[in-house]
Amino acid sequence: MSQIKEEGLKRELGIWDVITNVLSISIGSGIFLLPALVYAILGHASILAYLLCGVIFLCLGLCFGEVSSRIEDTGGVYVYIERAFGPLAGFVANILYWFGVGVMACGALLNALADIAASFFPIFETFGARLTLFSLILGIITFLSIKGIKDSMILIRTLTFLKVTALVGLVIFGFSFVDQVNLSWEGWPKFNQLGEASLLLIFAFLGGELSLSVSGELKNPKRTAPLGFIIGIIGVVLVFCSLHLVVQGVLGEALIANQEAPLAQLAKTISGKLGFTLILIVSFIAVWSTFSSIFLLKSRIVFAAAIDGLLPDIFSKLHPRYGTPVFGILFLAVLDLVFAASGSFRYLLILVTAASIVVYVGVILAFFKFRIKEKVRSEKVFYAPAGYVLGSFALVALGWIFFQLAQNELVAVGLFIVFLAILYYILNYFKISKKKEID
């Protein structure tokens, strides 16, 4: 099933690169807001939503891990769905993911960076300064992405190490300020409240699966991809849960009055104004890290679709010296800049969560299909323990969360899928017609 020879990418990444990208993407801007938002819904029982989402994503991680050990090709979730269900499903999943999730998320993240910068330097509230910052951040990761994935990963590793170290330090230091009363509760929250809080948290957990899109550049991908992804998810769950416990344990009811910046308020409570300033710097680093990982990894999804003939062939062309998909990278850089600067991403952000869940469901269905079609177990495949049980639970949980979405989100993603399906048939018609003319 491998396409390594056709791809021509260099296998330069290891397990720590997969783990780093999972941490880099999932521990982003959301973690700085979510403790207060979840607390406003569930109160002292908030940790239950984190545990529920953690269990869901661990189940997903094990299923994704199995599928990733079966397919070594570049493309991640797109290629899993395409190999299982064919080019139409692959085309829809591909664009739904890199555009409906990747470009929209990058537009939001670039604006989040400008907003954080504006809290230090008000000039970043002006369009010109924001555009300059967007261009600088995009220019750095675009240059590194073209130069090589190892160069990009140096930046991502550095940023991820800084933010994770800072957050772990905040947890360790903050535990001594925790009031146990703030962590105790009686009874169980209502089911609909748990669903509402879980929907918020799902957005924070999203994205780590992008780390699997570089399977064509991993050393020993059948082992590295599943193991790195699962370890990364466990790391994310531990960071989220421990951080929330400290924030809630220290601030308690004060979280209600600090919904815009709960972590900053925690740092201020512990270390005064210096702590408040440092956490703002850490938030900038965290968002920059997340943006850089998403930008780097989504270019491989575009590349993979071009290799399979679903997108223009130019996106499969590699740089003659660096061996990277240069045209795909430049295309995404321009697209990100346009959407971030114009603010157009705001009208399509409702696609992000719904589109991600649709793609997740597609991968779980692919997981089932590969298992059912398999006649003899392979020693080279990582098998999720109790796979059918885990997959069924993940599928039910995703369905439950999906239908917690607002009606406009469901309608938006439904219309977008229909549009992509129609676009696929139109493009396929012209492709067949052109081929007949040549023949």
**Apex CA 212: angle with CA 210 and CA 218, to 5°?**
135
Beta strands in 149-297 (DSSP E): none
- Listed in sequence order, the residues at least 6 apart from 146 whose beta carbon sits closer than 8 Å to its beta carbon are 319, 322, 324, 326, 329, 330
3-state secondary structure of 207: coil
| Per-residue model confidence (pLDDT) at position 361 | 94
The arithmetic mean of pLDDT across residues 420-436, rounded, is: 85
What pLDDT was estimated at residue 12? 85
Confidence of residue 4 (pLDDT cuts 50, 70, 90): very low
Look up tokens 């396409």; give the residue: 3
| Helix (DSSP H) and strand (DSSP E) numbers for the chain | 17, 0
DSSP state of 218: B
Q: How far is residue 300 CA from its own chain's centroid?
A: 14
Element (H, E) at 228: helix 221-251
Helical H segments across 308-349, by residue range: 326-342, 345-348
What pLDDT is attached to residue 3? 42
pLDDT in tens, 6-59: 567 778 889 999 999 999 999 887 788 788 888 888 888 889 989 988 898 899
Q: What is the 3-state composition of the chain as percent helix, strand, coil, each rounded to the nearest 5?
A: 85, 0, 15
pLDDT at 266: 84
Mean pLDDT, range 200-221, rounded to an integer:
85
Higher pLDDT, 430 or 88: 88
Tell me the mean pLDDT in the region 234-244.
92
pLDDT in tens, 263-274: 888 888 888 888
Q: How far apart are CA 251 and CA 36, in angstroms?
A: 10
pLDDT value, residue 8: 75
| CATH number among 1.20.1740.10, 1.10.443.10, 3.30.70.270, 3.20.20.70, domain 12-98+145-288+345-438 | 1.20.1740.10
Please report which confidence band the pLDDT of residue 438 belongs to, taking 50, 70 and 90 as the band edges.
low
The residues near 397 (Cβ < 8 Å, ≥ 6 apart) are 56, 59
Averaged pLDDT for residues 140-167: 94
Ordered by start, the domain boundaries in the chain are 12-98+145-288+345-438
Distance CA 89, CA 66 (A): 20
Give pLDDT tens digits for 317-364: 999 989 899 999 999 999 999 999 987 666 566 678 888 889 999 999
pLDDT value at residue 185: 83
Using a pLDDT cut of 70, give the percent of the chain over it: 96
pLDDT of res. 5: 39
Mean pLDDT over the full length of the chain = 88
- State mean pLDDT over 123-128: 93
Q: What is the mean pLDDT of residues 128-137?
A: 95
The predicted pLDDT at position 346 comes to 64
Query: Structure pTM?
Result: 0.90
